[in-house]
Structure 1
Amino acid sequence: MGVPDADSSNIRPATVHRAEFTATHSIFDLTAGRVTITVHSLSPVSPSNYVRQPLPFSQDIQIYLDIDARWTGQESRLQGDFEEKDGLAIYSLTVKDAPLYAKASNMALTGSTILASQFSSFTQLSALSGSPKEVRGQFVEDGELSGAGSTWGEGSVVVLAHNLGKVTGGLSVNFVVGYEREAAINYLGETYTGFYRAEYPTKSSALSFFLGNYNSALLESLKLDQELVAISVTTAGPKNGNINTIDVTMPVFPIYYVMDPDYIRLTLLLVAGICYTHDLGTHYPNAIGHDDQEAEPMPIEECGNLLVLAAAYVRATGDTDWTSQHMEVFQKYTDYLVDKSVDIANQLSSNDVAGPLANETNLAIKAAVGLKAFGETSGDGFYSRIGEQHANIFFQQGLGTGRDQTHFVLDYPNWPDTWKTPYNLFPEVLLGLETFYDAAYRMGDSFSHLFDWAKSDWNTFLAGTFEAGTRDEFVDDLWSFMTNGKHNWPFSDRYVATSAHGNEPGVPILCRTLPTVGGHFALLALKGPRSIHSLSFRGKTVSESVRQNLDMRQYLVGNHIEDFDTRRWSDNKHVMSSSAVSSWITT
C-alpha cells in the first residue's frame, strides 16, 4: 500500500482486502506475503474535551511511515529537525524564515509538520531521512533503518519504522502525524495558541499525552461511530480563508447542537460583544476584523443567523445568562430586521457565490424566523408578533410564493416563475417557533432555477421540514451523491444536480471539506440537543484550574500564551536538550 512509482520498483505492493470508513476511522486490511496487517487511522472526536479535541494530530497504526515536504505546504527552503525526547522519536519539518501567519494554497507555512512515535520494549524504533528510493529500499532490505547518513534534498522523505521481530500473535504500534502551529491565530492583533497548551505547553508533552490517551480516544470513537450509525439509520429510514464566517456558522450548527451545544456560544462569543459582521478577517489565521470596511454585504443573513443561533443555544442548554449579557446587542440586530426585512436591499445571502440580490425570499424567511427567535429568547412578544406578521405577508398573502402557491420564489414581487429551496425554515421547525403555517413546509423545489447545482447541507435542512417519505428521498439522494464514485477530492457540499447546463450530474464542484457539512446532522438535531449519548463524559482530563478559564474570552480562540506564563512565540526557539538532536536545511 502506498508504493508510488518506479523509484520503488523493488518493493512489491501489499494487497488490500478491505476498506472501511466511519466518522472517526479509516481502516484497511492488507496482506504482505504471509503477514496480515491492519492499517487503522484514527481522528479522535471529543468535542467537550477542550484539551484533547484541539490536538492537531492523527494516528496511524502500521510498521513504516514516511512523509515528505508537501505536508509543509512548500517543498523548498525547509528546515528539518529530529530529536529523541521523553521516550519519543520526533521529526519536525518547518518552512525556513516563513513570515508569521503566511500560507500558500490555503496551507499554513508558519508551523511544523510532525511525525512521531514512542520507543517501546517490544519493538525497535529507527529513523532516517533521504531519497524515497534509498530509504524505502533500506527498509525492505533490512526491516529497519540505520539512522546513519541522514540527508535532505528535493523529494526527500523523513521516516520512522518499527521492527516488530518475530510476531506470533497480534501486535500494534502507533505513529502520530500532525501540523503544529504554536502561534495559531492573530486575533485583533494578539497572538493566540491552541487551548491544549494550557496543560501541555511543549511539543513532547502534548505528543506524550496524545499517545498515552490513545486507548481512551479509541474507545470513545468506537462508541461514537456505533451510535452515529444507529441513530442515522433510525432517522433516515460547512472556501477562501475567511474566519468565523456567519454564513458558515449557520449551516454547521446542527453538529454542535447534537454533540455539544456550547460550541454555538463559543463561536458567537468572539463577536457578539463587539460587532457582528460576515467574518472576523479575510485571511486565516489573521482574525483582525474589518477596519477597512470591506466585509461582505449580507446584513440580513448576519442578523437573522445571530438571533436564530442564540435561540438554539438557549433551547439546547437552558443557559440564559450569556444571552442576557448581550441582549442590548441582540435587540439592535432585531430592530434592523424589523425595518429592513420586507423591502430588502441588494445584498448577499449564505450562497454568496450566486451574487447579490434584492428582495430575496429566503432572506425574508430567515428574518421572520429570526424575529420570532428573538421574541422567544427575550420574552418580548412584540418581536414575535412582527415575525408572524412578516410570515403572513410572504406566505398567506403570497408575496414570496408563486401564483398557485406551490413554491417559494427566488425573489419578489415580479418573478412568480422562479424558485429557490426554502432551507431557512429548518430552524423554525427545530425550535418549534411556529412563525409560518405548517403548509409552508410543503413548498419547495430544486435549489434555484438559476443554477444546475445543489447544496447537500441545505437539502438536509429542508429534509428536516418534511414528512418521512419526502425526507427519506432527500437522504437517499445525498447517499447516492456520496457513493457515486465521481469524487476525486474531500467531500463537497455542492454538486451538479441536473444536466440542463451541459454538466455531468453527481460531480462535486467548488467546495472541499467545508464545515458546512455539519448541516448533514440536521435530522439528528431534531432528536434533541446532546443526542449522541456516547459523548456524555465531558472534559474529564481537564484540570480544574484550566476548566475555570473556559469562559474567559481569551481562551475561545485558544489560550493567550502570556496568560499561561509560557513564553511568547517569538521567544521560543525550540532549544533541544535531548540525547539525540539533528537538523538540516534545504533551499
Structure 2
Amino acid sequence: MRLRELLFAGIAALSNAQSTFNPLRPPSLPLAVRSPYMSTWQAAGSDGGNGGYLAGQWPTFHSGGITGWAGYIRVDNITYIWLGDPVVPDETNYYVTQTDYTYTATRSIFTMDVAGVVGMTITMTSPVLPDTILEMSLPYTYMDVQVYSIDGKDHEVQLYTDISAEWVAGDRSATAQWSYGTTDTSASPKEFGPVSSPTWPASTAATTYATRTAYSHQASVSHPAPPPVASGQGHHYPGIKSPPFQAAKNHSNTPLVTNSKTGGIAYHKVWRQQQLEFAEYASQAEWGYWYYATDNVKELTYQSAQDIKVRANFINDGFLPDTESTNYRGIDDDYPVFGFALDMGKVNKKKKSALFQLSLHQQNCVQFEAAAGNESVPCMWTNYFDSDTAALSYFYNEYTSILSECESFDSQIKTDSDKVDTSDGKNYYSLTALAVRQAFGALEYTNTPTQPWVFLKEISSDGNVQTVDVIFPFHPIAIYTNATILRYMLDPLFINQEAGWWPYQFSIHDLGDSFPNATGHNNGNDEMQPVEECGNMIIMALAYAQRTGDDAYLAENYDLLKQWNDYLVSDSLIPAYQLSTDDFLGEIVNNTNLALKGMIGIEAMAQIANRTGHTEDGINYTTIAHEYIEKWYGWAMCYNCTPEHEQFQYNNESTWGLLYNLYADRELGTQLVKQEIYDIQSRFYPTVFQQYGVPLHNVGVDDGTKTDWELFCAAIASESTKNQFISIIAEWLNETPTNRPFTDFYNVATGNFGEDEFYARPVIGAMFSLLALESAPTSPYVTPVSL
C-alpha cells in the first residue's frame, strides 16, 4: 500500500518555507523536461503546489499524473528525504531543508541543508542545445547530486534514489515489466555529413561527435558555490520537523556491502509490457523504454520491488540487496520502484558527486501522412546508435562536456536578455530562461540527419500535431536559437499539402488531431482558420529565409505559398466570420488584428516573389498590400477616441485589443505599417493594464489574456510600455496560484487560469520575441532576382 496521504496531515506543510527563488518562483518547477513524453515538474503554485520545494511532494507529469521520483540521504545513520514524498510506514520520516532554488534555461538547481551538518546541491539538467541535432534527438535528463560537509566535520553519507513505473504509461492499470543491467562506456555515435543550416550562436555546419572525457561519480563539476545557510532558513513540517542532529533515530552502522560487478554504467530498464505504439493515455506515451542509469562503481547497490520495501531497506541498512523482482504487475499494484543506493563514504568540505541519468528510448516517434502515404517515422537518435544502451552510454559519458555547453547556452541567454531589457529589475531573463525547456519540450526530432523533421505537440489545449498557429508563437525562440529548426517544423506541413492530401486552397490548421499521429486531414475535416494559417505560413517561411539566406527553400515551395497568398488577397481585407488563433473566442467577423496578419502576409509574399525571381508577382503583391493597409487605417483605428487605439472589430469604437499581429511587420522588416500605429498602441496599453497585465481584448474574454501575445506587443512597444509588460508578467509568474507549467492564458485580475487551463504549451517560445527582433532586416526592400 502506498501512503501518499500521510503527509497531508502536516508533514508536507510548507507554511514556514524560507527558501529563496531565483530569478523568481515559477508556478511549476521544471525537473525533467525534454520532450512531449519526458515532461516532469514540481508544482509550486498555491492551487495544489507546495510552494516550490523538491521534498514533501511528488513530481508530476505536465498533465498532473504522478511520476514517482524519490531521494533519500543518510548522514551518520540518519535518513532524510530530499526528493519526492517517499513516506515509509513505521519509519520516522525526516526532511532536508531547502534553502535555495535557481533556474536557468537548461537547469534547475536546488540547495539543501541536512540537519546543519551536510549540504547538498542537486542539479537537474535537461540539455537544450538547439545547434546540435544529435543532442536534441534523445529525451534525456541528468541529475547531479553533490554532497559536502558544512560544519567542518567528516560525515558518513549514503545516497538513494528511485523512479517508479508511473513514468512508463498513463494507464496505471497497465502491466509494467523491468530488468537490471550494465553496459560499457565506449559507445560513440555514427557520423553524418553536415546539415546545411546556421547554428546557434554562430553560423557553423560541423557535426563531428568525438567521445569526450568520461564522468566519474567522485568528480567535482563546476557549479557556483551554494549560498551560506543562515540559522533558521528552510522549510519545516509541523509534527515531524528536521530534528536536532544528535536526537534522531539511529539505524545500523555504516554499510559494508559493495558491488561485486563493477565497471561501465548500471541501469534499470522499465517499460509497458504491452507496447501500444503511437498511443497516449492521459497525455503520457504508452510505448517506449525508460532507463534510469548511474556509474557502476563498487559502492553502488540496487533493487527493484515494492516501493515501501525498497525504501525501507535503505532507511534501515543504508544499502540495497542487489535483487531484482520478477513479479511484473500493474503500475499501481504495490507500486514497483527501481532504486539505487550509493555509499559515498566520508564526506568533508570537498564536494562529492553522484550522477544519474533518465532517458526515454522509442524506435518510432511519429506516424506521418507524407508524399507517398502514411509512414512510421523513426526517432532521430536511432540513426546514430544501434541500440538503446549505446545511446545511453554515450550521453552518460558526455555529461561533463554537455554540461559545459548548457552553461554557455544559459549564460548567452542571460547576457542577451539583459542587453535588451532596459528596466531596473532586469525581469526579462526570468521569462526567457523559464520558457526554454517548456518550448523545446514539445518537440520530437525525427527522420534522418540529412532530412530532419521536427514535430510539435500542442499540449493541454488539445493534442494536435504541427498546429500552425502554435508554431507561430513558438517560432521566435527558433529564430533566436537556430532558425533552421523552423524549417524542420514547416517541412512536414509543406510535404503533406504539396502531395495534395489537403483538399482546400488555404493552409491546413494542423497535421493531426492526436499527437503523435500526423496522419493529416485528407477528408478536409480540420479546424478552419484560413486567413490565420495562410498568413502564418508565409510569414514564417520568409522569416526563416531572411535569417539563413535560404531562398532556394522559398523557390521550392513557391507554388503553394502563392496559392495561400491568393487566398489572402481575396479574403483578408474584410475577413468573413471565421476563427483566428484565439479560437476559444469563436468565429468573429471584421477582425482587425486578423486582417492585419493577412496584409502583412501579402507584403511578405511580395518579398518572397522578389527573392525567387517572380518580379511581376512582387510588384503586384506589394501594390495590393499597400492599398489594403490604407483602407485598414480608416476602418481599424479609432483616431477620435481618447486615447486613440485600434478597434477590435472594424468601425466599432467601443472595442479594443492586443494588436499582436503587428509584430510580424517589425520581425520581417516589411515596414508596411506606419510608425504612427506602433506609437498609438504603445500609448494605449498602459491605460488598460490591470493587476497582472492587459486583457486580450474587451469583447467577452472575462479579463483573460495571453502571455505570448503580450510579449509580441511588448517587443514592438516603446521602452516604458515594453518594461511595464515584462515587469508585470514577471510579477504574475512569481505570484500566480496556478500550479501547472507556465500557462499562456490567465486572468489579469486574479492571476489564475483563464477560462481554459492551458499549460506546458510551446507557445511560450514567444518570450523570445524581443530577442528575435535583433536579427530583423533593417530594410524591407529586396532586389528582385531573375529566374
What is the TM-score normalised by the length of structure 2? 0.64
Q: CA deviation at 1:346?
A: 1.8
| 144-153 vs 168-177, greater mean Cα deviation | 144-153
1:140-187 deviations in whole A, cap 9, x for unaligned?
A: 232221122635643221112222222342221211113322221111
Mapping of residues 394-473 of structure 1, within 5 Å: 394-395=632-633, 397-399=634-636, 401=638, 404=641, 406-413=644-651, 415-441=652-678, 442-443=680-681, 445=685, 446-449=695-698, 450-451=700-701, 452-473=703-724
- Describe the shift of the 1:149–1:364 C-alpha distance in structure 2 as closer, same or farther (beyond 3 A): closer
Structure-2 change in CA distance of 1:402 and 1:453 (3 Å): farther
Q: What is the aligned counterpart of 1:132 among 296, 302, 307? A: 307
1:7 aligns with 2:184: no
Counterpart mapping for 1:200-349 below 5 A? 200-237=385-422, 239-275=461-497, 276-349=507-580
Q: Which amino acid aligns with 1:514?
A: R
Show the counterpart of 1:79.
Answer: 177
Indicate which of 701, 722, 730 corresponds to 1:479: 730
- Share of identical aligned residues, percent? 27
Q: Give 1:209's aligned amino acid.
A: Y
In 1, the alpha carbon distance for the partners of 2:273 and 2:324 equals 22
What is residue 122 of structure 2 aligned with on the other side? 39
Residue aligned with 2:771, SS: helix
1:16 Cα offset (Å): 1.4
1:331 to partner: Cα distance = 0.8
The 2-side partners of 1:232 and 1:344 are apart by 37
Read off the aligned partner of 2:697 and give its amino acid letter: S
Q: Which residue of 2 aligns with 1:185?
A: 366
**Residue identity matched to 1:143:** G
In the TM superposition, what whole-angstrom CA distance separates every residue of 1:282-340 from its partner, at most 9, and x where no partner exists?
Answer: 11111100023211100101110011001101111111111111111111111111111
Query: Which one-letter code corresponds to 1:354 in the other structure?
Result: L
Alpha carbons of structure 1 residues 466 and 345: separation in structure 2 relative to 1, 3 Å? same
CA contact (8 A) 1:420 1:447 kept: yes
Are the aligned partners of 2:637 and 2:644 in contact in 1 as well (CA < 8 Å)? no
Give the one of 498, 505, 530 matched to 2:751. Answer: 505
Q: Judging by fraction of residues, say which structure has more helix.
A: 1
Query: Matched residues in 1 for 2:621 and 2:364: separation?
Result: 43
For the pair 1:389 / 2:627, whether they are aligned, the reply is: yes
CA 1:522 to 1:176, structure 2 compared with 1: closer, same or farther past 3 Å?
same
Cα pair 2:417 2:771 within 8 Å, conserved: yes
> Which of 13, 22, 30 is equivalent to 2:112?
30
Q: 2:582 aligns with which of 344, 347, 351?
A: 351
Q: Which residue of 2 aligns with 1:141?
A: 316
Could you give the per-residue CA deviations for residues 510-565 of structure 1, whole angstroms, max 9, x where no partner exists?
111100000000011122279xxxxxxxxxxxxxxxxxxxxxxxxxxxxxxxxxxx
Deviation at 1:436, TM superposition (A): 1.0
Deviation per residue, 1:325-382 (Å, 9 max, x gap): 1111111111111111123222111111111212211110000111111111211122
Aligned match of 2:135:
52
- Output the CA distance in 2 between the equivalents of 1:497 and 1:228: 28
Answer yes or no: is the 8 Å Cα contact 2:304–2:323 preserved in 1.
Answer: no
SS at 1:81 equivalent: strand
Q: Secondary structure at the match of 1:250?
A: helix
State yes or no: 1:69 paired with 2:320.
no
Classify 1:323/1:149 alpha carbon distance in 2 versus 1 (closer, same or farther; 3 Å).
Answer: closer
Write the letter of the residue equivalent to 1:75.
R
Q: Do residues 105 (structure 1) and 105 (structure 2) align?
A: no
Number of corresponding residues: 521
> Whose strand fraction is larger, Structure 1's or Structure 2's?
2
Pick aligned residue for 2:342 from 162, 166, 171: 162
Give the direction of change, closer, same or farther, for the CA distance of 1:372–1:15 in structure 2 (3 Å limit).
same
Distance 1:292 1:127 in 2: 53
SS of 2:654's equivalent in the other structure is: coil
Secondary structure in 2 aligned to 1:45?
coil
1:521 paired with 2:768, answer: yes
1:18 aligns with 2:203: no
- Supply the AA of the counterpart residue of 2:660: Y
Q: CA deviation at 1:56?
A: 0.6
Question: What CA distance in whole angstroms lies between the structure 2 residues aligned with 1:103 and 1:344?
Answer: 37
1:210-233 CA distance string (max 9 Å, x none): 111111111111112222222212
Q: Displacement of 1:245 after TM fit?
A: 0.3
- CA deviation string 1:228-269 (max 9, x = no partner): 222212212262110110010100111000000001111111
- Separation of aligned partners in 1, 2:514 and 2:402: 32
Q: Alpha-carbon deviation of 1:402? A: 6.8
**Structure 1, unaligned runs of 5 or more:** 499-503, 531-587
One-letter amino acid matched to 1:262: T
1-side partners of 2:396 and 2:386: how far apart? 16
Please report how far the alpha carbon of residue 399 of structure 1 lies from its aligned counterpart in structure 2 after TM superposition: 4.2
Mark the runs of 5 or more structure 2 residues left unpaired by the alignment. 1-81, 146-158, 185-263, 423-438, 440-460, 498-506, 611-617, 686-694, 778-787
Q: Following TM superposition, by how much is the alpha carbon of 1:6 offset from its aligned partner in structure 2, in angstroms?
A: 4.4
Larger displacement relative to structure 2 (131-140 or 415-424): 131-140
Return the alpha-carbon distance in structure 1 between the equivalents of residues 269 and 487 of structure 2: 35
Structure with more relative contact order (C-alpha pairs < 8 Å, separation 6 or more): 1
TM-score (norm 1): 0.85
Secondary structure (helix, strand or coil) at the match of 1:78 reads strand
Residue 114 of structure 1 deviates from its aligned partner by 2.2
